[in-house]
């Protein structure tokens, strides 16, 4: 479309104000606009009208934790990381994902120094989804709750921010850092990272509830894949899970939690508990690995060989899960089925909630006037029909 073309999407149902609203969507210059000013001030009609055939239009999906997919591993394919990122960014469009945070798992310092300069924040287009910044998951995590992260690469924070800067190098294109809040000096580190505009997530942790509360009071906003790689809920100390019902966090602050709604990592009853306890904080993440979109068999992730069998990914020769292979649109459907939540809630858990968590809901995650025209057409079964970035169709089923 040429610049300043006024597009009217008709015959659709919009996800707005936590409901489905029968209304037209107006787009110009890549933004969602208020049609009233067009009618009354400019006295203009639409240049292009698109009949949406009663489709649902939802904000584009935002994946805050994805390790790779389609044979690409962001942590392992160091020399080809740029082409790998481009491949995954393009493939994600078919699943309604318009923005994502490529995730690097615990790696040697040399890997971060090579990879981070090659993954820049950038706007999406027909070639792929927007890159919001990198999610660094490790190496400042718990050895006891390392999951699939290599033990020998896990580090402590004995020198505070010096450890962070030595390990990663430049943080300009980093959006999220996951660390274990029980580590010494973690509170000072959290405060420093938040002041730099980085979202701190707590996870891969043996931390108790108090550790979590201290972290949140220093500015941590997110829990990495709730229930996975943390202490199980205990009635005398509910651990990080207890943050969902804590009354010892700053007034008005929402604690967000990523949850892998792939039908494997989180039992449907656990999904229901999280949803009923703290729905406002629920953020669907895929935690997808290189095997997403690949056939069953043996593959590679990070420093490990792994096996895909029965739609699950394991460290080869073990029963340890090492990441999900479900796409975002699948996870949305699983969340809806497991919790009996509304379609709108499931869609907002993949769009509005992650945008709020990153502090970008003035631009992404809603269909409000003035926001980026990133959205998804879906049918009533929440199948993705088409994906749009900046008002341009970038995928059509």
Cis peptide before 55 (omega within 30 of 0): no
Q: Is 288 annotated as a binding residue?
A: no
Q: Are 195 and 142 in contact (CB under 8 A)?
A: no
The span from the CA of 46 to the CA of 74, in Å, is: 42
Query: What distance in Å separates the CA atoms of residue 136 and residue 124, rounded to the nearest whole number?
Result: 21
Torsion from C-alpha of 328, 334, 337, 342, nearest 10 degrees: -20
Residue 265 among known ligand-binding residues = yes
Token reading at 3: 């610049």
* Rounded to 5°, angle at Cα 212 from 206 and 216: 150
229 is in an annotated binding site: yes
Tally helices (H) and strands (E) across the chain: 10, 22
287 is an active site residue? yes
Q: Apex CA 354: angle with CA 348 and CA 356, to 5°?
A: 95
- Give me the DSSP letters along 217-230: HTT--EESSTTTTB
Distance (Å) of CA 91 to CA 276, 387, 391: 33, 11, 19
46 annotated among ligand-binding-site residues: no
Among residues 226, 217, 199, 231, the alpha carbon closest in space to that of 357 is found at 199
Q: Does the annotation place 185 within a ligand binding site?
A: no
204 among annotated binding-site residues: yes
CA angle, residues 282, 285, 286, in degrees to nearest 5: 150
Q: Catalytic residue among 63, 77, 211, 287, which? A: 287
Q: DSSP states of 302-357 as a string?
A: TTEEEEEETTEEEETTS--B--B---HHHHHHHHHHHH---HHHHHHTTTHHHHHH
Give me the active site residues, please.
287
**Which positions make up the binding site for Zn(2+)?**
137, 204, 225
Q: Residues within the annotated binding site?
A: 137, 148, 204, 225, 228-229, 236, 265, 321-323
């Amino acid at each position: 479309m040429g610049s300043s073309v006024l597009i009217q999407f008709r015959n659709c149902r919009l996800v707005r104000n936590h409901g489905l609203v029968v209304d037209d969507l107006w787009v110009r210059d890549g933004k969602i606009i208020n049609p009233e000013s067009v009618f009354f001030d400019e006295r203009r009609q639409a240049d292009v009208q698109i009949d949406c055939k009663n489709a649902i239009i939802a904000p584009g999906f935002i994946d805050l934790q994805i390790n790779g997919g389609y044979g690409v591993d962001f942590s392992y394919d160091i020399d080809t990381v740029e082409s790998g990122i481009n491949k995954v960014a393009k493939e994600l469009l078919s699943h309604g994902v318009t923005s994502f945070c490529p995730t690097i798992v615990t790696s040697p310092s040399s890997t971060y120094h090579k990879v981070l300069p090659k993954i820049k924040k950038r706007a999406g287009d027909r070639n792929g989804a927007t890159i919001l910044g990198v999610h660094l998951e490790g190496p400042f995590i718990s050895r006891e709750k390392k999951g699939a992260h290599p033990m020998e690469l896990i580090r402590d924070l004995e020198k505070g921010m010096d450890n962070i800067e030595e390990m990663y190098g430049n943080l300009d294109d980093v959006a999220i850092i996951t660390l274990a809040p029980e580590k010494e000096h973690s509170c000072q580190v959290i405060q420093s990272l938040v002041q730099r505009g980085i979202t701190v997530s707590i996870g891969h942790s043996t931390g108790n509830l108090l550790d979590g509360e201290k972290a949140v009071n220093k500015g941590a906003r997110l829990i990495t894949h709730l229930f996975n790689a943390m202490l199980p809920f205990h009635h005398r100390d509910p651990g990080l899970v207890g943050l969902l019902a804590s009354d010892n966090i700053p007034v008005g602050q929402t604690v967000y939690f990523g949850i892998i709604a792939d039908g494997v990592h989180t039992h449907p009853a656990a999904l229901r508990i999280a949803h009923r306890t703290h729905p406002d904080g629920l953020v669907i993440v895929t935690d997808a690995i290189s095997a997403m979109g690949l056939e069953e068999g043996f593959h590679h992730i990070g420093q490990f060989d792994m096996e895909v069998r029965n739609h699950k990914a394991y460290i080869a020769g073990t029963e340890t899960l090492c990441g999900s292979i479900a796409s975002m649109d699948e996870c949305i459907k699983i969340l809806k089925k497991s919790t009996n939540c509304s379609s709108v809630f499931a869609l907002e858990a993949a769009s509005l909630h992650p945008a709020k968590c990153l502090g970008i809901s003035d631009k992404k995650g809603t269909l409000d006037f003035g926001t980026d025209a990133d959205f998804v057409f879906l049918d009533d079964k929440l199948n993705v029909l088409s994906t749009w970035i900046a008002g341009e169709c970038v995928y059509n089923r």
